[in-house]
Amino acid sequence: MRTTFAALALIAPLPAFAQEDHSMHDMGSMPAEPTPQDHAAMGHTMNGMTADQPMPMMRMGGSDHAAGGSGTSLLPQADGPMRGVMLSHGDWMVMAHGYLWGVYTDQGGPRGKDEAFVESMAMLSATRDWGGTSLQLRAMGSLEPAMGQRGYPNLFASGETANGQPLVDRQHPHDLFMELSARADTQVAPGTKLFVYGGPVAEPALGPSAFMHRRSARYFALSPIAHHWFDSSHITYGVVTGGVQAGRVQLEGSWFNGREPDEHRWDIDPIKLDSWSVRASWSPTDNWVAQVSTGHLKNPEVTHAGEDEQRTTASLHYSSGKVSAMVGYAAKHRLPGPVLSAFTAEANWDLTSRHSLFGRVENVANDELFPDHDDPLHDRKFRVTRFEGGYAYRIPLANQTELALGGSVAAYAKPSVLDAAYGKAPLSYTLFARLALGR
């Protein structure tokens, strides 16, 4: 119950912005003097918003041809800019965005657990333009550390530690500080701009947009079991990124801290710059974004002390507005050690303004399911597939908020040697209520 009240305290103050004057800001994508067509598209007039118009949206990075995802990643333009409650304060545009989940999950089989818990995230961003240059400041946080170091049950998930022990079949909570960053963009030629991004807590240019920022993953209450293949670096303590956007292409590189966050989630970890990554993104049309990236991570996992990692990812995102989807591949090459690969495909389909279907298939090669060195299956690699599908009923509320009620069911395919530990055919289900500020 304390976790619930704490998470509400994080989210509840944000709708107060709705009482202020509202306008829309689109970083770098709108001309200095909007045309009447621009105002029609934005849903407001020169004198402000009308009473029956929706709250505005804001682009977080991105370009004329792609929307901004987490960090400096890109998503299809058809997904639309990030939505939130806006406040104009002098020359600054401030946006508030966040969510609060109430979740109950029953993870099946002998190693599964049932548990109720709360997930939360709140984000504030402030943006200012000076002609062809813009500056954006971001702060994002979560009260998930209140659920304890062991997080929540999530069958076949692994990664990081709690109380000095590896986490297996559980998902660790997010840190209190999920992002404390700044980004500066400057236009150097028509359709071309340079940008610099980073901060004490930020996300390097590695992998697709983090799962909680992808519209294709909007209503999945649990993290992907492939999280530590694709986007475990979305909370990194120390990041500097530089890049260029030219038309529909973005090229960027990062210098960052390769170590994953420690299990003490209320503080800021030591900041280092000991790893690197490069990423190329391409948006051939407003409906598609492809990215490929690779990075060398210095000693990323405390459970594999002394081992560096070369991580390579590729993903393809699609959006038609109503349908958002992603397919991706990732490989972790421990140095020295094996290459562990993962595949994922996920989609969200908004059938109507109230009804949504979503699904995900993941396949991972995991050698961390049996951390006990005396277990005969210790360090053995097993390829596991999770199939998950679900439904959400969406209830639009005032001031750009939405309540979604729904659930999902997950089944698994695995080698028979795991039957003794996990059961022959475990099934899991999850129920949720999701209150989101910014839809």
At 339, list the tokens.
């290459």
Q: How many CB atoms lie within 10 A of CB 284?
A: 11
pLDDT digits (tens, 9 = 90+) for 210-264: 999 999 999 999 999 999 999 999 999 999 999 999 999 999 999 999 999 999 9
* C-beta of residue 77 within 8 angstroms of C-beta of residue 57: no
At 43, list the tokens.
């849903």
Q: Which residues contact 439 (CB under 8 A, 6 or more apart)?
A: 83, 396, 400, 401, 402
At 254, list the tokens.
């990062």
Sketch the domain layout of the chain as residue ranges: 2-437
- pLDDT, position 60: 52
Of 25, 98, 122, 27, the closest CA to residue 66 belongs to 27
Q: pTM to 2 decimals?
A: 0.85
**pLDDT per residue rounded down to tens, the chain (439 residues):** 334 334 333 433 333 333 333 333 333 333 333 343 333 333 333 333 333 333 344 445 666 678 889 999 999 999 987 778 888 888 999 999 999 999 999 999 999 999 999 999 999 999 999 989 999 999 999 999 999 999 999 999 999 999 999 999 999 999 999 999 999 999 999 999 999 999 999 999 999 999 999 999 999 999 999 999 999 999 999 999 999 999 999 999 999 999 999 999 999 999 999 999 999 999 999 999 999 999 999 999 988 888 999 999 999 999 999 999 999 999 999 999 899 999 999 999 999 999 999 999 999 999 999 999 999 999 999 999 999 999 999 999 987 899 999 999 999 999 999 999 999 999 999 999 999 998 6
**CA gap 300, 236 in Å, rounded:** 11
Q: Tell me whether the omega of the peptide bond preceding residue 336 falls within 30 degrees of 0, making it cis.
A: yes
CATH fourth-level superfamily of 2-437: Porin (2.40.160.10)
User: Dihedral sign, CA of 209, 211, 217, 219?
Assistant: negative
